Each structure stands twice: as structure tokens, then as C-alpha cells.
Amino acid sequence: MRFKFLQSFDFILFFCVIALVTFGVLFIYSSGINSEGMNVSSEYIKQIIWGGTGVLIMLTISLLDYRRFSRSVPQLFIGACAVLVFTKFFGRYVNGARSWLGIGPFGIQPSEFTKVVFILFLAWYLDRTKKTQDQRKRFIVSLFIMFIPMGLILAQPDLGTSLVYFPIFLVMTFIAGIPVRYIMFIFAGGMLTIIFTVLPIWESQIAHESVVFIRMLTNFRLRLVLIFATGSVGVLSLFGMFFYRHNKYFYWISYASAIVCGSLILSYFAGKVLKDYQVMRLIVFIDPYADPRGAGWNIIQSKTAIGSGNLFGRGYLRGTQSHYRFLPEQSTDFIFSILSEELGFVGCMCVFALYFLIFIRTIFIIKNASNTFGMMIAAGVLGMFVFHFLINVGMVMGIMPITGIPLLFLSYGGSSLWTAMMCVGLLMSVSSRKFGF
């Protein structure tokens, strides 16, 4: 039994995770050093504890047969959603969102752990329906499954965490064989909604001049006309599909019209729902110097730290941006900025290589999984890991808006670290079962 376990154990995945967690502890410690060289934070001690317990959780899950989770996944999903509802009304406020539960100084973020439950439940559903339902119904039900936890987290409100569910859904449905046109409908609609939401903000806060096309988005009557026009085109195309069944042009016209019409409607409500600080995040993403001492400060200082690292960095514990406290949230959202400043380009490439190895191993696990349930689990984990990596690294470089999404394994925080470790444990469980262990 011991020999079989060692034979099937994914040492590459394990050592990549351990290396990243070690990097995280080192630079969380560095973030606590002030300009006088004194350590003023105990966060690194907590991270060591969370990292050690996280490794035990990871190894425990890797020993369990992931296929047994399918028996209780629906109950887990209902329970997780119930906890999110409870958190909305009775949780504690942290950074403007009621998203934490805890007693005294100890707290957890349920929305982080719900990611794992969501992956398991969606994998369970896609596995059960692969031969019994048509693809359109599978896609619609999968979309509904995503919107339940996503909506509950948005109600807290926690926009950053809720966004993670979107790439998990896209990757899992793609791997499950859902037609690409359905997936692209949601992806294109989401991207267009973001563009239509950002353009009026850009016109009023950055350009300071009226643009003819954007006026259609800022003027309510013109927006209604545009919605009515695109909606009418879509309806007429549906009639064309009914009378001319073999003409695919009508299908694609209605497809495009529905995306544009839906995006115009959703972007209007998004503009009303966005908080002032979220609007400012979009503004400084477009132009950080629109508010250099306010909302743009984080991005400007982060880019300064990354740029000052050069090729080999300033050296460990020799960074200035973090030690002089120019970087806010430097142990969580902006941990990569400290790493870049102190280790430089070479250090960043080493960290990137570790993440890419994890991604490649996950793709290998997807390809070689012994059943659809395991393949879907690995696909969901891949979507989650890649999204966290791209958004956080892009955020600190100024090429993505600030969303409050941590860099998994490196950023300070027990809930996000344990969630990532649980996901790695699931990957190891799926990987080892291909040998029959």
C-alpha cells in the first residue's frame, strides 16, 4: 500500500506548492519590516501555521478517494450556500464587505471554501448529465448553478471573489463538451458588459469630452433606442430562423443581437450598482494619475517597486517601497510587488516557472483522469488557479484593474491558502487514481 502511494504521489506538484508557500512566508516576513529594520508584524507566524496545517489538509485529501465525494456533493453545495446567506446577515465587515465569520481574532471567509464545493458540485452535475441531457439544457442548468453562489457573494458585496466563479464555469463547461458558441455567448456578453460600463466613466473622468457613440450609453433615451433596435433585429432574425431553417445567417444575427442587447441592459444596472470605490478602481486602471494620491496610489507604487527590481533585484529584505510603507495591502494583494523589487526579473521568472509547472501538471491530470468527474474537478481547479494568477499579477503590473484577488500560495491569508491546498489535494487524488490506487 505504501509503495503504491509513493508510486502515484505527484512529487512535482507537491514541491511546487511547498516552494511557493515558502516564498510567501519569506516575503510576508519582509513586508513586516519597517524602515528601521524592525519587524512590526506577526503575520508571517500565522502564515507558517496556516501553511503547515494546509499541507496536512492537502495530504489528507490526496489520500481520500475523490469519487466518494460525489455521494454528498449536493448536500455540501446546499450547506455552503446556506453559510453564505448566514454570512450576509451575521458576518463581520472587512474591507467594506460582510464576508467573514469568526470568533474574536479568528475568522474564515466562507466564499473562499465555497469555490471548492462549487467545483465539486458542477463536476458532479456535468458528469451525471453527459449522456442524458441535451447540451443546451446542460449549459443553462450549469449557468444557474454558478449564479447561486456568485449572486450570494455579490450581495455581501465582494465583487473580486465572485468573479473567480466565472472562469471556473467557463473552463469546466468547455472541457465537458458544451458547444463553444454557448460558452462564447457568456464570455462575449460579459466582456461587452464591462466595456459598456467602463466607457461612460472614461468619457466623464478621463477624456472630459463628449464622444458620439458613448453618448448613446450615457443618455438613457438613446440607450433605450439602441436596446430596442438590437432587440428588434434579434426577434426578426428568430422569425427568419423559423421560416428558413437551413439559413444559418439568421441564427448568427440573432446570436450577436442578443449579446449586444443583453450587454446594454446589464451595463446600465452595473453602472447603478457599482460603489464609488469600485468606480475609482476602474478610473485609475485606465489612468492611475487621475488620482495619484488616492485610488491610483496603489498601482503607481506597485509599478515603481516592480521597475526598481531590475534584473536581480535589490536583495532580500532590502526593498524600499514596502519597508517605507508606500505599498498598502503589501502582504496580501501586492505581495508580488515586494517579491519583484527584492528578487528582480530573475526571481519573478522562478516564481512564474513554479506556477506554470502547476498549470502544466493540472492539464496533464485533466488529460489522464480515469473518469469525467475527476476530469471536471481538475478543470475547475485549473480555471481557478490561472484566473487568480493572471488577475493578481496583472493587477500589480497595472494591466488589470484592482479587484482584491490574492495571489494563491503567496498572499497572506488562511482561507485562501487552505482553499488552494484543498484544491491541490483534490488534484493529487485524481492523479493517483489513474493507477488504480
Q: What's the confidence (pLDDT) of residue 191?
A: 87
Q: How far is CA 353 from CA 6, 310, 349, 360, 408, in A?
A: 25, 18, 6, 10, 15
pLDDT of residue 437: 47
pLDDT at 249: 82
- φ/ψ region of 404 (left if φ > 0, alpha if ψ in -120 to 50, else beta) reads left
- CA 213 to chain CA centroid, nearest Å: 31
CA dist., res. 419 & res. 116, Å (int): 7
pLDDT tens across the length of the chain (437 residues): 455 556 678 889 999 999 999 999 999 998 888 877 788 888 899 999 999 999 999 999 998 888 888 888 999 999 999 999 998 888 887 766 778 787 666 778 899 999 999 999 999 999 998 877 788 889 999 999 999 999 999 888 788 888 899 999 999 999 998 999 999 998 999 889 888 888 887 777 766 677 777 777 888 888 899 999 999 998 888 888 777 766 788 888 888 999 999 999 988 888 777 776 677 777 777 777 777 777 677 788 888 888 888 888 888 888 887 777 777 778 888 899 899 999 999 999 999 999 999 999 999 999 988 889 999 999 999 999 999 999 999 888 888 877 778 999 999 988 999 999 999 999 999 988 765 44
Contacts for 251 with CB less than 8 Å, ≥ 6 apart: 237, 241
d(CA 278, CA 281): 5
Q: From residue 260, how far is each of 137, 190, 357 by CA, in Å?
A: 23, 10, 38
Amino acid at 420: A
pTM, two decimal places: 0.90
pLDDT in the model for residue 101: 83
Report the distance separating Cα 199 and Cα 214, nearest Å: 7
